[in-house]
Amino acid sequence: MSPGPVKELFSSLGVECNILELDQVDNGASVQEVLSEITHQNTVPNIFVNKVHVGGCDRTFQAHQSGLLQKLLQEDPAYDYDLIVIGGGSGGLACAQGRDRLGECRGNFHVAFSIGSCRSGEEGYGAGLRGPVTAGHVVGGCSWSVGLLRVVPAGELLPWDSAVDRVAHLPVFFSLQERMHRFCAGYFLRSQKADKLGGLGGTCVNVGCVPKKLMHQAALLGQALTDSRRFGWEFSQQVKHNWGTLTEAVQTHVGSLNWGCRLSLREKAVAYVNAHGEFVEHHKVKATNGKGQKTCYTAAKFVIATGERPRYLGIQGAKEYCITSDDLFSLPYCPGATLVVGASYVALECAGFLAGLGLEVTVMVRSVLLRGFDQEMAERLGSSLERLGVRFLRKFVPVAVLQLQKGSPGKLKVVARSTEGPETVEGVYNTVLLAIGRDSCTKGIGLEKIGVKINEKNGKIPVNDMEQTNVPYVYAVGDVLEGKPQLTPVAMQAGKLLARRLFGGCLEKCDYVNVPTVVFTPLEYGCCGLSEERAAQEYQRENLEVYHTLFWPLEWTVACRDNNACYAKIICNKFDNERVVGFHILGPNAGEITQGFAAAMKCGLTKRLLDDTVGIHPTCAEVFTTLEITKSSGLDIMQKGC
């Protein structure tokens, strides 16, 4: 398209613009190639306004109608910060601290950044930080926190996407030089039920991956104690588990991680102050501290990284008497007989370690286990939990939770209704744990005031493959993204790479394909790539070959544990050299095993490469180097001995 309409628009606004006609210059093709990499736009005109990429004609006129263009057209926009990060979980911190590979700073830099999610007027970890403010100043956030970053070099070095002429869209390309920014952040996490404040690091550190894995380990140790007698260990004293000792140890470790982050802030000479942030207009957020004092900050770019929080059921007694995973890991008393509502990986992981600690556990399932995961693997995982003593109540949903007796724990009656008919059931439990999903924290931060589109149904933010929203200067990373894996390492990778692109001259984008993950149930389930269901949709079932087997870990033989509980399979595309498109394992240490094979899948792993690999004996992972039986053959995979 001709730049004429846009040029006329600028002329009508009294703005001079510079135009580079790519077909009129010798290196036009090279310039277009670089522009495509930088902007992810393959059409012309490609318009930049005051260092910000706006887009083509349509997006420029949309920006004019929304008032954004006028904001960008200020002759010398004096933003307080180059970047404001809203949210303090894994993605936000990784973006703020994405300093590796950015080279060495030039000149003197002033850095300010803050995030958090406590309610106004509350204090959290880091609120008492003090120290000389020489390198920067952090304004801590409340209830979806505000992160502020300002980089003011003494020299004239600009970020790659600022390398444009002052007014319109004449690109000024120069030798990109890497820069290092010492970003820092604080995070406050508040349980929705108890007034429990967490610390730096977001859900993963405080109420997610870290405490969950430690409690998973506690359950494994219980099984190891049982196995140990078969290996010759003799002990006569009664062995029992102490919930208080466990939670104290877990919270001590979580606190040490919080402290490590705070120590890093002190070393960077950053002061930390609580505030709640929300957009008030384009390029401007308002921060309100616990005393109600308000301060406004402006920035050239913003990153939304507010994550998600557990969802409550809209039924009688849900918020009054139920807990979520936000509460479980610091629960001051043993939960006792527990009803877990939900069939997500969070639900099954919690059910698994609670059962492993010797508690009575029931899981209420509305439809299927692990929706979105391979369903054969999900059912096998469910069977492993049943063998551990977990009871499944399938095709039921709770309709009311009533308190029968107060206490720590007390007694609760749950009334549930069948999803397939009028049948109802009742049960009495000490604790009801809700694990029915999570809601994106995109409300209440003023996104509607600047026109950022969100999916009204689920609160997710649509972005392009550069993590850029429909508003050019606003980006998003982590669990708030629509259609992306909701995993801590994914958020960290996306945040880190976004920082490198914005400030380090890098072009690398986050690869959301073949992301490995693991469900930390007592018998772990690790996977990478496609489920059988998804692979059949993508490649057609007749084009796939599935190799599989049951296996018996050597450690289980002497302990006389089930010889047909562990399972491995790979899904191969027959017409692509039997490339592995799905990797699945249910067995001990599945997370450690899957991580290694995920790297191989990134390199184009095929069945032949697995066959040519010498296994390490005796290990569980070596089973993937000896797979021979296909599902299509119908041959028996049952293990009958060593």
CATH code of the domain covering residue 397: 3.50.50.60
Neighbours of 488 (CB within 10 A): 23
Binding site per annotation, positions for FAD: 213, 277, 479
**How many of the other CB atoms lie within 10 Å of CB of 560?**
9
Predicted structure pTM score: 0.79
Q: Does 641 fall in a domain? A: no
Kindly state whether residues 377 and 472 are assigned to the same domain.
no
d(CA 379, CA 83): 46
User: In this structure, are 458 and 413 located in the same domain?
Assistant: no
Long-range contacts of 203-207 (CB under 8 A, 24+ apart): 203/89, 203/90, 203/307, 203/308, 203/488, 204/89, 204/90, 204/488, 205/254, 205/257, 205/258, 206/254, 206/258, 207/325, 207/326, 207/328, 207/329, 207/330
The CB density around residue 486, as the number of other CB atoms within 10 Å, is 16
203 and 213, same domain (yes or no): yes
Q: Which range (303-317, 566-580, 617-631) has the least confidence?
A: 303-317
Least confident of 125-134, 380-389, 622-631: 125-134
Instruction: Please give the residue that has the higher pLDDT: either 334 or 146.
Output: 334
Q: Which of 407, 436, 465 is the last residue of a domain?
A: 436
**Active-site residue flag, 617:** yes
User: Rounded to an integer, what distance in angstroms lies between the CA atom of residue 525 and that of residue 566?
Assistant: 10
| Mean pLDDT on 56-80 | 79
Give the mean model confidence (pLDDT) for residues 441-455: 94
* Residue 282 shares a structural domain with residue 421: no
Q: What is the CATH number of the domain that holds 23?
A: 3.40.30.10
Q: Which of 300, 277, 305, 280 has its CA nearest to residue 463?
A: 305
Rounded to 5°, angle at Cα 65 from 70 and 305: 75
pLDDT at 51: 62
- pLDDT exceeds 50 at position 379: yes
Tell whether 546 is covered by a domain.
Answer: yes
Residue 53, both tokens: 């990429």
What is the per-residue pLDDT for 184?
31
Per-residue pLDDT tens digits for 320-333: 999 999 999 999 99
Domain that residue 607 falls in = 523-633
What residues contact 557, with CB distance under 8 A and at least 6 apart? 563, 642
Name the most confidently modeled range: 28-32, 46-50, 577-581: 577-581
Q: Which two tokens stand for residue 174?
A: 């120069």
Amino acid at 399: V
Q: What is the mean pLDDT of residues 398-413?
A: 97
Considering the candidates 216, 241, 283, 617, report the single residue annotated as catalytic. Answer: 617
- The count of domains in the chain is 4
Domain boundary residue among 483, 513, 543?
513
pLDDT for 171 equals 24
Looking at the structure, do residues 69 and 82 belong to the same domain, yes or no?
no
Percent of the chain with pLDDT over 90: 59
Average pLDDT over residues 599-607: 98
- Tell me, yes or no, whether 205 and 242 share the same domain: yes
Q: Rounded CA gap, 398 and 415, in Å?
A: 6
In a domain, 624, yes or no: yes
Residue 107 pLDDT class (50, 70, 90 cuts): very low
Point out the annotated binding site for NAD(+).
Answer: 342-349, 437
Same structural domain for residues 457 and 424?
A: no
Which H helix or E strand runs over 154? none
Assess whether 253 and 361 both reside in one domain.
no
* Any domain includes 453: yes
| 572, 430: one domain | no
Say yes or no: 605 and 549 in one domain: yes
Residues 466 and 569 in one domain: no
Show which of 75, 99, 128 is a domain's final residue. Answer: 75
**Predicted local distance difference test score (pLDDT) of residue 127:** 26
Say if 135 falls within a structural domain.
no
Annotated binding-site residue numbers: 213, 277, 342-349, 437, 479
Whether residue 132 is contained in a domain is answered as: no
Quick: pLDDT tens for 176-207: 222 233 333 333 233 333 333 345 778 998 99
Residues 325, 409 within the same domain: yes
- Expressed in angstroms, the distance from the first to the final Cα of the chain is 70
User: Which region among 8-12, 219-223, 432-436 has the lowest average model confidence (pLDDT)?
Assistant: 8-12
Write down the pLDDT at residue 293.
87
